[in-house]
Amino acid sequence: MNDAAPAPVPTPCLVPLDTTEDVRNRDATVALLPIGSYEQHGPHLPLATDTVLACTLAQAIAAVHPVLPLPPLTISCSHEHAAWPGTVSISAGTLYTVVRDIADSLRRSGVTGLVLVNGHGGNYVLRNLVQESAGGGIRMALFPGGADWAAAADAAGVRTSAHSDMHAGELETSVLLHAHPSLVRPGYRSADRIADDRRHLLTLGMAEYTDSGVIGRPSLASPEKGEALIAHLVASFGEYITVLGA
């Protein structure tokens, strides 16, 4: 019997390594801020899943579109996951203030648009930030929106609905199987959990609806779906560049 701890898994580099001259030469007026979380994602995905997803998408966008990629925010509003070890949260007010400060700093350096590439559905306050930006200062957008995810999931052949595939399911597992397969632990093919009636989720937390932390069908995940999801989202991002006037 082998009781040794599993070997450490290499962590993908999530921080852009540009120099000042790289940024100057790119001359981008729209910045991308990946926003993830540090919360449980069942037994088969890492706590940093949402950050890895947001960074994977931001890096793919930056390879195609004229944008300035920023380092990610790795801890956000994950209070509904607090029952599981490892989950760490900050308040909505703190997240609001940090993003607002980043936007103000970017504006002073000549950036006119900021896209919040959000990997965590619980960051509801980001919608208010974007809403307020329409009144002046740096213009913001939230990406992907619900319609963006829905179109990408349909194009990729994701079979589980967005409502049923809430957490650590078919979509998230597919993206990691494509972009960072070494981060996906064994067992995801038998980890399905459907809990469609979650009307009191924000009050009671995730633990009321799932023992494992999974809500979705990771058994249906594949790297091909993950690749198609990212490709479709990258293509649809062009509309946001147009809206921000870049």
Concatenate the DSSP letters of all residues of 69-122 into one string.
Answer: E-PPB-----GGGTTSTT-B---HHHHHHHHHHHHHHHHHTT--EEEEEE--TT
Distance CA 119, CA 226 (A): 14
* Secondary structure class of 214 (helix, strand, coil): coil
Q: How far is 215 from 186, CA to CA, in rounded Å?
A: 17
CB 77 within 8 A of CB 50: no
> Over the chain, what is the mean pLDDT?
94
Rg (CA), the chain: 18
Tens digits of residue pLDDT in 229-244: 999 999 999 999 999 8
CA angle 63, 103, 140 (to 5 degrees): 70
- Tokens 């595939």 locate to 165
Would the pLDDT of 128 be above 50? yes
Which DSSP string do the residues of 143-173 spell out, in sequence order?
A: ES-HHHHHHHHHHHT--S-TTT--BSSHHHH
**Least confident segment among 1-15, 45-59, 94-108, 121-135:** 1-15
Q: pLDDT by residue (tens digit) across 176-218?
A: 999 999 999 999 999 999 999 999 999 999 999 999 999 999 9
pLDDT level of residue 4 (50, 70, 90 thresholds): low
pLDDT at 7: 57
Query: What mean pLDDT is predicted for residues 41-69?
Result: 96
168 pairs with which residues across the strands?
Answer: none
How far is it, in rounded angstroms, from Cα 71 to Cα 236?
Answer: 22
Label residue 14 by pLDDT band (50, 70, 90): confident
Would you call 196 exposed, middle or buried from its count of C-beta atoms within 10 A (0-12, 13-18, 19+)? exposed
- CB atoms closer than 10 angstroms to residue 67: 26
**pLDDT for 136:** 79
pTM for the predicted model, two decimal places: 0.93
* Other CB atoms within 10 A of residue 85 CB: 6
Q: What would the pLDDT profile of 152-174 be if each residue is shown by its tens digit?
A: 999 999 999 999 999 999 999 99
Q: How confident is the model at residue 1 (pLDDT cuts 50, 70, 90)?
A: very low
pLDDT of residue 178: 97
